[in-house]
Amino acid sequence: MVKKNKEKISSSSNISLIFMICTIGSRLLGIVRVRLISTFFGASGIADVINFTFSIPNNLRKLLAEGAFSSAFIPVLTKAVKHDEQNINDQHANSLIHRILAFQLIILLPVTTMVFLFPATIITFLSDFSDTNLISISAMLLKYFILYLLIISIAAVMQAALQCKSKFIITALSPLLFSTSVIVSIILLSDAYGAYSMGIGVLAGGILQLIFIYPTFIQNGYSIKVNFHFHNSYFSSVVKSFVPVVITSIILIITQQISFYFASTLPTGGVTALSNSLVFWQMPYGVFYVSIATVLFPSMSRSYYESDGIGQIRNLQKGVEYIVVYLLPSTILLIFFSNELVFTILQKGKFTSENAVRTAESLRYFSLGLLFAGIFNFFQRFLYSIHKFKLTVYTVLIFAVSDILITIICLNLKLDVAALGIGNSSAYLIAVGIQVFFIKREMPDMKFTNNYKYLLKIFIANIPIAAGLLLYKYSKVYWFSDGSTIVNFMILLGIGILSCFFILVSYRLSKIDYLFKKKG
C-alpha cells in the first residue's frame, strides 16, 4: 500500500510539473494582456472601468465555473467515474454532468437577464463611480462579460470531467486561447471600439476555450445535454456539498469585491493599481498552487472514498511541501523585484512612472501573503475532500472579517493601495493558523514532525537568495527607471533566470529530493 501511494504521488508530481509549464504560458499571456491595457488606457478612469467591471463576472466565475463549483463537483464526479470504470455499462458520470449543466442554466439565465435589463443600476450599486460616461461604458462591458460567464461555466463542467479522467494538459492549454483572443482584440480593435475591444476579446476567448475542449470531452465518452430531473443520488451529493462551498466562495467574492470598492474610493488609478498587482501576484499563484491543487484534489477525493487514510495524509503533506518549495521563493522575488517587474512590463505609453510606483507598492504588500494564500486554499481543498464543509465556512469567515477590518484600519492610516495588500496578507496568515488547529483536531493520526523538519529545510534553502537580493536592494541600482524597453526586459529576464538558477542549486544542495529525484 505504501509503495502504491508513493507511485501515485510520483505520478502526480510529474503531471503537476507539466501542468505548471502549460500554466506558465497562460500566465505570461495574462501579463501581456495587462501590459496592453496599461499601454492603451493607462491608469485612467477607462482602465479603472475595464478592470472593475471584469472583476464582477470574474468573481462569479470562481463561484459558478471554477473554485466553488469544482470543489463540490469533482469529489462526487470522481466517485461516479470510479463506479462507471467498475461497471462498464453504467453512465453515472455522464448523467451527473447533464444535471449539473441544467443546474447552471437555472442559476445563470436569470443573472444574465438581470444584467441585460439593469446593467447601469448594478454598476452604480457595486462601485463608487460617479461619472455617467464611465458608468455607461461599464454597463455595456458587463453585458459582454456576463455572456462570457455563461460560456465559460459550460467549459468548466467539461474541464472538471477531463480532470477526473487525468486529462490535465488540455485543460491547462485552453486558457492560452482566452488571453490570446483578448490580446489580439485590444491590438486590432481598441482604436475603433475603445474599451469595448476588451469585451469583444473576452467573449471570443470564452467561445474559443469551449470549442477547444469539446472534442476531447466527446472522445472520453461525455456529451453536452441538459437533464432537469434532479432526483439523483450523485446530483444530491453535489448540491449537499455545493451549499457550504458556495457560502465560502460567496464570502470570498464579497471580500474581494469590497476590496475593489475600497480601491474605487481611492484617487484615480486605485482600481487599476489593485487589479494590475493581482495579475503579477496570480502569476506564481496560478502556476504553482493551482497546478498542484488541480492535480492532487481528485487524488485526495479518491483516497477519501477508498478510506485510504495514509493516502490522504501523504497527499496533504506533499501538497503543502510543493506549495512552500515553489511559493516561498516566488514571494521573495516578488517582494524584492516589485518595482523592476512593474516598471519593465507596464511603464509605457499612458501608464506613467507614478502609476508604476503605485502598482508596485500594492504588489509588494500582497506578495507578503502569497505563501499563506496557497496553503490556505490547499487546506480548504483538503477539507472539501474529506467532507468537512463547516470548517471551511468558519475559516473563510475568519479570513474575510480579518481582511476587511485590517484594511479599514490601514485606510484610516492613509496607506493608500498598500492598505489592501496588508489586510489581505494578514488575513491569510491568521486563517492558516486556524486551519492547522482544525486539521490536527480532525486527523489525530497526522504526524507533523517530519513535515515541519522538511519545511524548515526549505526555508533555510531560501536564505541565500534572500540575502543576495537584500544586498542587491542596498546597491540602489535603478536600471529600470526609464520604463519598458527591450534592454530593461533583457536585464529583468537575466536576473530572473540567475535567481532561479541559484534557488535550484540551493535546493539541490539541501537535498530537496522531489525536485531532483533520487535514483534507485
19 or 123: which carries more pLDDT confidence? 123
Supply the pLDDT for residue 174.
82
Residue 245: phi, psi to the nearest 5?
A: -65, -40
Residue range 328-335: mean pLDDT, rounded = 94
Cell of 243: 451549499
Can you give the residue ranges of every domain in the chain?
1-43+268-511, 45-263
| 125 pLDDT more than 90 | no
pLDDT tier at 90, thresholds 50, 70, 90: low
pLDDT tier at 484, thresholds 50, 70, 90: confident
| 9 pLDDT more than 50 | no
Q: Which of 387-396, 414-423, 447-456, 500-509 comes out lowest in average pLDDT?
A: 447-456
| 242 pLDDT more than 80 | no
CB atoms within 10 A of CB 316: 23
Supply the pLDDT for residue 15.
64
Our CA dihedral for 250, 256, 258, 264, rounded to 10 degrees, sits at -140
| 115 pLDDT more than 80 | yes
The answer to whether the CB of 389 falls within 8 A of the CB of 380 is: no
Cell of 242: 455545493
What is each CA distance from 350 to 188, 212, 223, 357, 363, in whole angstroms?
Answer: 18, 35, 47, 14, 20
Q: Which of 21-25, 30-34, 44-48, 68-72 comes out lowest in average pLDDT?
A: 68-72
98 or 18: which carries more pLDDT confidence? 98
CA 117, 123, 129, 130 torsion: positive or negative? positive
The answer to whether the CB of 324 falls within 8 A of the CB of 455 is: yes
* CA-based nearest residue to 182, from 286, 31, 349, 42: 31
SS3 assignment for 3-70: HHHHHHHHHHHHHHHHHHHHHHHHHHHHHHHHHHHHHHHCCCHHHHHHHHHHHHHHHHHHHHCCCHHH
Residues 378-437: tens digit of each pLDDT: 999 888 888 788 898 999 999 999 999 999 999 999 998 999 999 999 999 999 999 999
Cell of 201: 476579446
Length of the chain in terms of residues written: 520
**What pTM, to 2 d.p., does this model score?**
0.74
| 7 pLDDT more than 70 | no
517 or 140: which carries more pLDDT confidence? 140
* CA-based nearest residue to 111, from 61, 52, 67: 61
| 308 pLDDT more than 80 | no
Most confident of 41-50, 331-340, 507-516: 331-340
Residue range 158-174: mean pLDDT, rounded = 80
Cell of 430: 491568521
- Where are the alpha helices (H) located in 87-226, listed in sequence order? 92-117, 119-126, 132-164, 168-193, 196-219
Kind plus residue range of the DSSP H or E element containing 374: helix 370-385
Residue range 326-336: mean pLDDT, rounded = 94
| 31 pLDDT more than 80 | no
pLDDT tier at 502, thresholds 50, 70, 90: very high
Supply the pLDDT for residue 13.
56
pLDDT tier at 372, thresholds 50, 70, 90: very high
pLDDT tier at 336, thresholds 50, 70, 90: very high
Share of the chain above pLDDT 70, in %: 91
Residue range 19-39: mean pLDDT, rounded = 76
The answer to whether the CB of 246 falls within 8 A of the CB of 68 is: yes
Residue range 91-117: mean pLDDT, rounded = 89
CB-based burial, 318-357: b 16+ in 10 Å, e otherwise = bbbbbbbbbbbbbbbbbbbbbbbbbbbbbbbeebbeebbb
Give the whole-angstrom CA distance, residue 499 versus residue 464.
10
443: three-class secondary structure by DSSP: coil
Share of the chain above pLDDT 90, in %: 33
Residues 245-258: tens digit of each pLDDT: 778 888 888 898 89
The average confidence (pLDDT) of the chain is 84
| 475 pLDDT more than 90 | no
Cell of 319: 501538497
pLDDT tier at 1, thresholds 50, 70, 90: very low
467 or 69: which carries more pLDDT confidence? 467
- Integer-rounded Cα Rg, in Å, for the chain is 23
